[in-house]
Amino acid sequence: MTITLKYYGHATFGIDANGVKLVVDPFLAPNNPLAPVTAEEVEADFILLTHGHGDHVADAIGLAQRTGALTICNFEIEAWLQNAGVEKTHSMHIGGAYCFPFGRLKMTIAHHGSMLPDGSNGGNPAGLLITFTSGERLYFSGDTALTYDMKLIGEAGGVDLAVLNMGDNYTMGPDDAVTAAQFVQAKRVVPSHYNTFPPIAQDPYAFAAKLKERANIDCTVLDPGEETTI
Ligand code: NI
Ligand code: MN
């Protein structure tokens, strides 16, 4: 079976998991200056939210309402979605895992903020660890600093692919992201959360070279609209 990971720019990804469609942190055109598509052009059976910041949830309500997807998020963001009229939600919290039709999803520790765009409480930010029903393991760091807790993911067997924030300023930068890749024992890395705005300008190819040199881990740099398989 094949898992396809498509990049929409910034920290927004689409996943086709053996025919089931997931969207992670929907931030699409015109909100997301890098996204090649609008929320009208994306399909979703499940929407996954790491935290409440606008650059991760700007298109969550619209996408959920148009597609009827089940939105998976923390308890506080679920309340925000329900206030907006989104009915199909599943709330979780850090450390918890649940088996969905696409696989087992665990919310992991992230060090960041999570206030929602309207100022309401977005709970705590999270990373996402997915073990697909076909066995592949995919980790989204979410917006986070480097944390020693990432080692727990590595010690639990590592991941086939880690999507790691490396834009710096708001999250870990390239050097810490290399260490994060080592901590989670990633077989391969896709960088995210860079070049959307001037404070997070980075060269992803320099990051890829650093990852190879320091950690001997492969990196797949995706331009918005491009995809890779796991
Ligand atoms: Ni954020
Ligand atoms: Mn962000």
In tens, the pLDDT along 108-142 reads: 999 999 999 999 999 999 999 999 999 999 999 99
- Ligand 2 centroid–CA 27 distance in Å is 10
Rounded (5°) CA angle 8-190-14: 35
Nearest Cα residue to 192 out of 173, 206, 212: 173
Give me the domains of the chain, ranges plus CATH numbers.
3-220 (3.60.15.10)
Q: Is the dihedral of CA 115, 117, 121, 127 positive or negative?
A: negative
8-18 residue pLDDT tens: 999 999 999 99
Place of tokens 């148009």: 66
Kindly report the pTM of this predicted structure.
Answer: 0.98
pLDDT at site 1:
73
> Percentage of the chain with pLDDT > 70?
100
144-195 residue pLDDT tens: 999 999 999 999 999 999 999 999 999 999 999 999 999 999 999 999 999 9
Residues, Cβ < 5 Å to ion ligand 2:
53, 55, 143
- Ligand 2 centroid–CA 155 distance in Å is 27
